[in-house]
Chain A
């Protein structure tokens, strides 16, 4: 039983990160019907920018661990958001009226470009975050030690996801995003600047992805330029699992995928972990082709 709960927390920590990245896929898909394959690399950029800012600014020495990391996360989110907007402007907007396949190819190209750009700028070696950024004390939950960092990751992910959900559901700009997701033409006729909405989506999604990259860097320590590939793939799967285009779906899908992986590894076979996760995905898609929470497809995002 202890192993079960231990594996559950293992899965939730991984799943929280998947969910945060999945939000970027799902938001872009919701508005543009485009799978932004470069999203995993924006996540990598977040991890690298976090490390660069961390070592060059030494913020954590001045203002303490938690505040320093928080400020850095905001800076990283801002920068990756800007990169996301540039990506949209350069690689996707010129192809807005083209067939969808062209945009997908452009997305793959952007992904290769980012990955190699990171390699050329930083080099191919592994980078390591400083180890003692945040205190490494375990928190006892039902007498079971859980690393504090893991709880922080989960809490930070959930807070960001809930904030995003409220933003999209309750604010005027959020309403504009939802309107653009349903019908761009009609939204334009209602006086919504669709281009600005798309820009905003390409700012928020990558910003969350960048934050996830920085979290991975801080928690696991090791980053390299190919790290975005596996995380991107898994997050994309999570987005589909939950119902792509749907924000709560991305959260549920991410957490679920992490837990399925951990439990599959624990009780069936580690080597078959991914096969099990994808098998579950296939079964869910056969039963519910729109994903778990996909019934709200009509009002995506």
Chain B
């Protein structure tokens, strides 16, 4: 009896271990599935799950299926470190995400210590890639890049008195400071520099104060919910100053919140929108997304998460190994001009994406985002 028991025990143990070594390549996805940015996070999950499904239909990776394990960071740094700890223990090769810079920052060291490759999709704060972390990458550009494009645009349009408003998140503050420094370099005076509290509804007090400093151009570096309210309340005040946003305002809900009349003429910087992506990969991607979810991908960041997934899987395939160190080395040295959904992808030594990504968009009278030449 004892023998039988130990035999059964041994067999079940073997079964269990073989189940653990199950033939899947595990890739994590960390995104804001709940919380204020939940719309972005849920679309990130749709995109990555869809790409994984497609990849598995084509035979998976290294002869194994790809398994995506998602965790919710709730757009909150505390939640993000919990999510990172949970993911790090599940044998993932790489993690895709996340969206906000401060949220990514809270998870970076956890993944680094666990030796997991992290590919952020929306975190543009400069310092994230200046820490010398070997396995950190991002498919979105950096804020200094964006700051340069912003200031170049302002210079080209010939404005003389600039107001800069941010929302105290690492991303928005970083971009605002970058723009301020660059404007100083071009000796264009910044007449107003301050921060609002995100998540509020009433920004009349801020607009009233900003108006008193009499700028001829406003650069808001925060996110779309606040940008929409600012535009709407600015219109109600009857103030016609031109507004420009950073890439975090790139979401169609901006126009819904502001209303088309208030949003008209608003311009912003962003990597190209899903609809303006013209590579064959991007067109195929948008078509299958449309087919699966009967709506277009709304924001570029989930698409950048998709690019993160695609470079990681390409690197695993190219390196012939699912070992994070090899994947990371492959991404830095071998992968060049990878045909991504958002254009060509290459990474430098810091893990930053190389190349010009930003475009200027403007909202037209119907509320459409129109790519500016």
Contacts and interface: CB of A to CB of B under 8 A. Distances in A.
B257 A221 contact: yes
A88 B204 CA distance: 36
A230 B36 CA distance: 12
B249 to A, nearest CB: 13
A222 B38 contact: no
Interface residues of A, number: 38
A270 interface: yes
A119 B253 CA distance: 17
Contacts of A124: 34, 38-39, 41-42
Given A222-B225, A265-B205, A273 B38 contact: no
A145 B195 contact: no
A224 to B, nearest CB: 7
Interface stretch (A5-13, A24-32, A197-205, A235-243): A5-13
B204 A230 contact: no
A128 interface: yes
A131 B199 contact: no
A126 B257 contact: yes
Interface stretch (B138-146, B206-214, B282-290, B340-348): B206-214
Interface in B3-49: 34-36, 38-39, 41-42
A124 B34 CA distance: 7
B34 A116 contact: yes
B238 interface: yes
Interface stretch (B53-61, B228-236, B351-359): B228-236
Interface string A201-224: 000000000000000100011101
B208 to A, nearest CB: 5
Contacts of A266: 205, 208-209
A82 B236 CA distance: 35
B204 A10 contact: yes
Contact of A230 (B39, B196, B199): B199
Contacts of A13: 202, 204
A13 B202 CA distance: 9
Contacts of A3: 208-209, 212
B34 A269 contact: no
11 contacts: A3-B212, A7-B208, A10-B204, A10-B208, A14-B202, A119-B38, A220-B229, A265-B206, A266-B208, A270-B205, A274-B197
Give the 10 A-B residue pairs with the shortest CB-CB distance, closest first.
A124-B38, A271-B195, A220-B201, A10-B204, A262-B205, A265-B205, A270-B194, A222-B257, A125-B39, A128-B256
Given A222-B229, A270-B195, 9 more contacts: A3-B208, A3-B212, A10-B208, A119-B34, A119-B38, A126-B228, A221-B232, A262-B205, A270-B194
